[in-house]
Structure 1
Amino acid sequence: MSQAELSRGLNAGLNRRGRAVLELTTEPATAMLANEVEHVSKSRRRNDLLRWQAAGLLLPLGVFGILEVVVQNGWIARNLLPAPSDVFESLWQLAGGDLWKHIGASGLRVLAGFVLGAVLAIVLGAAVGFSRRLEALLEPSFQGLRAIPSLAWVPLLLLWLGIDESPKIALIAIGAFFPVYVNVVSGVHNVDRRWVELGKVYGFSRIGLVRRVILPASLPQLFTGLRSGLSLAWMFMVAAELIAASKGLGYLLTDGRETSRPDLVLVAILVLAILGKLTDEALRYLEIACVGTRDTLGNTR
């Protein structure tokens, strides 16, 4: 072999080895750089979101300030719309008295009705979504019942169950049932058919398929239904307590109307808004714990 050929061979070997070393050194560096860029991007999005959330908290404060000026200057009569300072003063007074009793009564009713309605909705929704025959049998009736307004149920429930806690819990359960049911059925229908076939290959029974394949796959839509159902449970609770109740936030609304105290009505509305937001946030964090953070558009904005 000539000197030139030997030199070319050595150079080629060195070039191949150099490229290999370069690839080994640049690939981890590129991955680290990409991870760092993604981390910085997420940090910037998080900070931007925090700024917008702070602005979202300032928005109602600005509205309260404008209303305070408007009412204090007499542009709106106090018997129609009290000043925010009057509302918070009433809230402070009630917080040292019967407010917690009303919150406890309403909260227990919502909890009992929501759990009852949601459990029934999950069981029936999974069964209807899994069985076409059962869907053909029950779906027309459920869709018809879903269109009935909440107050239309009140006279019938009072006739059947009396005026104690039973009709209130039943009405709340009706309100929570349909959003959860609709989302569970939709979630089951959207489960990838290949997962179901794989479960059959492993010998799962129908109940095993529902419990181990279908329900876990439909968890995102299930939690959407649960959050919607919880919101409606609070609304139906107010409807139930407006009819027959001696305590609760709905009763507080009625008491404020009958005694011509709009500040009391607004206190009840404010407390309902806070409780609704807190319970919805609790369900949202439960969803994150059960489903995890998904790579979706909502998590990348």
Structure 2
Amino acid sequence: MSITDQDSAVRTERRTPSAADRDPARFLRRRRISDVVLAVGFPVVMLTLWQIAATSGWIDRRFYPAPTDIVGEIRRTFQDNPKGNWWVDIGISVQRMLWGYGWGVLFGLFFGVTMGMFRTLRVTLEPTLNALYTVPKLALIGIFLIVLGFDDKPLIAVIGVTVFFFVWMQSMVAVMTVPDQLQEAARSFESSRFQLFRHVIFPSALPQIFLGLRVSAGVAVLTLIGVEFVYSPGLRGIGYRINNARTVLDPLQAYVGLLVAATLGVVFVTVIKVVGRLLTPWSSNDRTVL
């Protein structure tokens, strides 16, 4: 092989600069716009197809009303208020959800962080908690009714227990997966256990912990609606409204309830996500719309 051939073999190709390399700010701006268009465009297309199917008679409009019918029902429900005060039900459901979510997060963080740091505690409690995790949470409503009474406490307890397991598992894994190199570096400076936790373990685990908080926020809404289907003190709440609409064959009101529940979930998860971004500025924030 000649010297020229050898030079050709080892010569590296020049990489053509990408759009992100040439103008990073413009590239990020265009990508964010594209993300918004995709996120908004998909539901718009689905609603358009639904509207066409309903108005063309391809689906039974009595059970699958057109989106325009649902929008009209929402306006009548919240403006003219012919079917009771929905705002009261929303307020009651939000209060129940926040209480349950708060208690679940509190205990979930405590057990998750401590079990992640102390192996003996993890070995002792993890098998029992794993067994309890598999128990259907709605099945606990009867026990909680007997123990806590016939008010909001059983409903809040079911939400709290459900949230607890999601936060506990995510927090424990987040603490356990903190890189050993970071911990060894802190120990080399003779850091105390508290300093190690405060300056290394907790900041490193916090982004993953907030991921668990986001997931459990959506789970809290799901559990709230599910429990209110079967037990709703005072016959109030979003879940009760949806179930009552199903019972009296009022699909428009059922769809209103579903949209209210979906909106509540999106708002709650988004709030947790924004708080997580503000409290973990050192982490790599994803750029999804929601």
Query: What TM-score do you get using the length of structure 2 for normalisation?
Result: 0.83
Structure 2 CA distance for aligned equivalents of residues 269 and 142 of structure 1: 32
- The answer to whether the 8 Å contact 1:126/1:210 transfers is no
Once residues 95 and 21 of structure 2 are traced to their aligned partners in structure 1, the CA distance between those partners, rounded to angstroms, is 45
User: Contact conserved, 1:79 with 1:261, CA < 8 A, in 2?
Assistant: no
Residue 45 (str. 1) matches residue 34 (str. 2): no
The answer to whether the 8 A contact 1:129-1:184 is kept is yes
Matched, 1:262 2:251: yes
**SS at 1:292 equivalent:** coil
Match for residue 247 of structure 1 among 206, 214, 236: 236
Identify if the C-alpha distance between structure 1 residues 38 and 105 changes in structure 2 by more than 3 Å, giving closer, same or farther: farther
Residues 150, 239 of structure 1: 8 Å contact kept: no
Q: Deviations over 1:177-231 (max 9, x none)?
A: 1111111111111112344345556666545543443222201110010001111
Rate the CA distance shift 1:201–1:274 in 2: closer, same or farther, 3 A: same
* 1:40 partner letter: D
Distance in 2 between residues matched to 1:136 and 1:267, nearest whole Å: 47
Give yes or no for contact 1:68–1:83 (8 Å, CA) kept in 2.
yes
Matches within 5 A, 1:8-23: none
Structure 2, unaligned stretches of length 5 or more?
1-16
Q: Max radius of gyration: which structure?
A: 1
- Pairing 1:174-253 to 2, within 5 Å after superposition: 174-197=161-184, 199-200=186-187, 206-207=193-194, 209-245=196-232, 246-253=235-242
Report if the CA contact (8 A) 1:158-1:167 is conserved.
yes
Q: How many residues get paired?
A: 265
Q: In the aligned structure 1, how far is the partner of 2:246 from the partner of 2:127? A: 40
Bigger shift: 167-176 or 62-71? 62-71
Letter in structure 2 aligned against 1:232: V
Distance in 2 separating the partners of 1:239 and 1:187: 29
Give the residue type in structure 2 aligned to 1:79: R
Map of 2:13 onto structure 1: none
Post-superposition offset of 1:55: 3.2
Identity %: 27
**Which residue identity does 1:64 align to in structure 2?**
L
Partner of 2:265: 276
Q: Give structure 1 stretches of 5+ with no counterpart.
A: 1-33
**Superposed CA RMSD:** 2.4
Q: Describe the shift of the 1:170–1:204 C-alpha distance in structure 2 as closer, same or farther (beyond 3 A).
A: farther
Q: 2:136 maps to which residue?
A: 149
2:146 to 156, 159, 184: 159
> For residues 88-137 of structure 1, what are the alpha-carbon distances to aligned partners after superposition, in whole Å with 9 as ceiling and x for unaligned?
11111222332221211111111111111001011111110111110011
Any idea what SS the aligned residue of 2:178 has? coil
C-alpha distance in 1 between matches for 2:128 and 2:265: 30
Using the TM superposition, give the Cα deviation of residue 58 of structure 1 relative to its aligned residue in structure 2, in angstroms: 2.3
Alignment of 1:62-101 (within 5 A): 62-96=45-79, 97=81, 98-101=85-88
